Chains A and B, each alone.
Chain A
């Protein structure tokens, strides 16, 4: 073992003593079912009221296209 090897060995030992091994690195719970539940959470239904609102906005902007820049200004 030459000087370089000894030095590397010393550094390795010091690093190991400074950083204790992680005893419990595994997750305690599986996160995937939670993620699936969140993705499957049913959103609010898009009903007739919302359809009327969309139609109203589309109609207004079609009849008064000069309002479109003002609308963009607020989005």
Chain B
């Protein structure tokens, strides 16, 4: 299994957010039908559904293609991803006129997201990379 390292990196990166998406989707649907969430919450699902998993895959491809192993740990590299994702999420929420997610909330969630991403990239994503024979 030595061919297509970038495809393997993309698949290893996409896997976890794709699984987690099911939970997010269930939470979104529950809040929609129970009318617990704010109006137009369903429009927000496009972000975790389309953008987050693809960015995870591309981030892992970037880590492998730049040969960053040895210079920066995969956990630390993964923790940088929210620096792109959080502003992108705010921009999308603003473009879709979703008022439930504000810049203030984004600033509050950024360090938490970075910690969560650090842990998730250090353990599950690194495990998936090992399984597809990518050294991370």
Residues of A within 8 A of B58 (CB): none
Which residues in chain B, 80-136, are within 8 Å of chain A measured between CB atoms? 82, 85-86, 89, 100-101, 105-106, 108-109, 112-113, 115-116, 118-119, 122-123, 126-127, 130-131, 133
B116 touches A71 (CB 8 A): yes
Contacts across chains A and B counted by CB atoms under 8 Å = 69
Residues of A within 8 A of B118 (CB): 53
| Bound-state Cα–Cα, A43 to B130, Å | 9
The A interface, classified by DSSP as helix, strand, loop or mixed, is: helix
| Bound-state Cα–Cα, A19 to B43, Å | 55
| Bound-state Cα–Cα, A67 to B108, Å | 8
| Bound-state Cα–Cα, A64 to B107, Å | 14
Residues of B within 8 A of A75 (CB): 17, 20, 24, 48, 52, 116
B52 touches A46 (CB 8 A): no
Which residues in chain A, 52-75, are within 8 Å of chain B measured between CB atoms? 53-54, 56-57, 60-61, 64, 66-67, 69-75
A41 proximal to B (CB < 8 A):
yes
The B interface, classified by DSSP as helix, strand, loop or mixed, is: helix
| Bound-state Cα–Cα, A11 to B119, Å | 61
| Bound-state Cα–Cα, A73 to B17, Å | 11
B39 proximal to A (CB < 8 A):
no
Query: What's the minimum C-beta distance from A58 to chain B, rounded to whole angstroms?
Result: 10
Which B residue sits closest to A72, measured CB to CB?
Answer: B24
Residues of B within 8 A of A38 (CB): 130-131, 133
A5 proximal to B (CB < 8 A):
no
* Proximity string of chain B (51-72) to chain A, C-beta cutoff 8 Å, 1 when within and 0 when not: 0100000000000000000000
| Chain A positions near chain B (C-beta within 8 angstroms) | 38, 41, 43-44, 46, 50, 53-54, 56-57, 60-61, 64, 66-67, 69-75
